[in-house]
Structure 1
Amino acid sequence: MTTTYAALLRGINVGGKKKVPMAELRNILEELGHGQVRTYLNSGNAVFTSASRDPDALAAELAAAIEERFGFEVACMVRTGPYLRSVLDACPFPAEELAGKQLHATFFAGPPVTAERFASIDASAYLPEEFRLGDQVLYLYAPDGLGTSQLAAALSRPGLLKGVDETSRNWNTVKALVEMTRAAGDAQAG
């Protein structure tokens, strides 16, 4: 029995740094013994199936393989298809009414992230931008986009997430990864 996963790589192919071609990422995942490997966009999103039941071990294995192949460290997170679906379903914002680039999900790895980490942020000072916490995910509504979001800058200030790896995806990407993991699971079942 295999499980369908999505790998989320942080900070690759941005500004010409940490280049990881998607064909190479697919090759690495296949060399690690994973099946039904597909990538999405050029920003470090991959879907695959694996017999492993340990997403953290898969993430560590992928990070080590990337470092061995390319000579630099990349933070990797691996999430199951059902987890991604739960992130989509639990969105506290009216996702269907918003443009996909107005809503973002920041995924966390490491110790549980609780509201206490963000107690120093006066959320009312950033309205109409808003954020909410979910299960190891932060939902961010930035009506003018992430690039100009003052709240996003406040949420990513040094020290706030000390000891926690994180990576963000816009809502269009989250929806695409949910669909890709569902399709891979359907193909596996068929």
Structure 2
Amino acid sequence: MTVFVALLRAVNVGGPMAELKAICEGLGFSDVKTYIQSGNVLFRSDEAEKTVEERLDEALGKTMGKRPGVMVRSRKELDKLAADAPFPKAKPNFLLVYFLPEKPPGDALEKMVAPDGEEAKLAGREIYVHYPNGSGRSKLKLPALKTGTSRNLNTVRKLAEMAAAMEGKD
């Protein structure tokens, strides 16, 4: 069985992670684990990534009244994102990885407005954004980020570590 990491979009911090776990188990996913209160869930499934993503998003939509948006990645993808992170002088909590449903167009960064010196880099289905002053008060405008969900580099590393530990149980 493949270990998947699902990253939920539009989930309020402090949301019902026990409910998320129950929904995943109800879909037949196994070894379900959640990480912090921001829509991160790991599990095993024999289904294809896109099928897992669609089924989870649909089930969450029924519970929440609206589909939140679910991005599913493998441990290998998370490992690569952590290893290839640009902006080596950035604090890991100031470097966000935006997970997108599909690869953004090559010109996605051309529309970026970065008044606080933010930097961004495309990487497959993700966009890295370095917020030198933190993301909380940033006035960054980058339309390509709207469909995605972000996690800081520390969280990406932890999720990769958790997925590796799950894979090690095989």
How high is the TM-score relative to the length of structure 2?
0.90
Instruction: Give, in whole Å, the separation in 2 of the partners of 1:62 and 1:122.
Output: 34
Write the distance in 1 (CA, Å) between the matches of 2:111 and 2:60: 36
Does residue 25 of structure 1 match 2:20? yes
Q: Give the corresponding residue for 1:101.
A: 93
CA contact (8 A) 1:30 1:37 kept: yes
4+ residue runs of structure 1 moved beyond 4 angstroms?
Answer: none
Identity %, equivalent residues: 34
Matches within 5 A, 1:27-176: 27-52=22-47, 54-94=48-88, 98-110=90-102, 112-121=103-112, 126-127=116-117, 129-150=118-139, 153-155=140-142, 160-161=143-144, 165-176=147-158
Alpha-carbon distance, 1:84 to partner? 1.0
Q: Check the 8 A contact 1:5/1:80 in 2, yes or no.
A: yes
Higher-Rg member (1/2) = 1
Pair 148,141 (structure 1): closer, same or farther in 2 beyond 3 Å: same
- TM-score w.r.t. the length of structure 1 is 0.81
Unaligned runs of 5+ in 1: none
Report if the CA contact (8 A) 1:12-1:74 is conserved: yes
Measured against aligned partners, the alpha-carbon deviations of 1:19-57 in whole angstroms (never above 9, x if no partner) come to 8410111111111111111101111000111111x2121
Residues 112 and 141 of structure 2 are in contact (CA less than 8 Å); yes or no, is this contact kept in structure 1?
Answer: yes
Q: Aligned-pair RMSD on alpha carbons? A: 2.0
Kept after mapping to 2: 8 A contact 1:56/1:77: no
Paired positions, count: 170
> Where does structure 2 lack aligned partners over 5 or more consecutive residues?
none
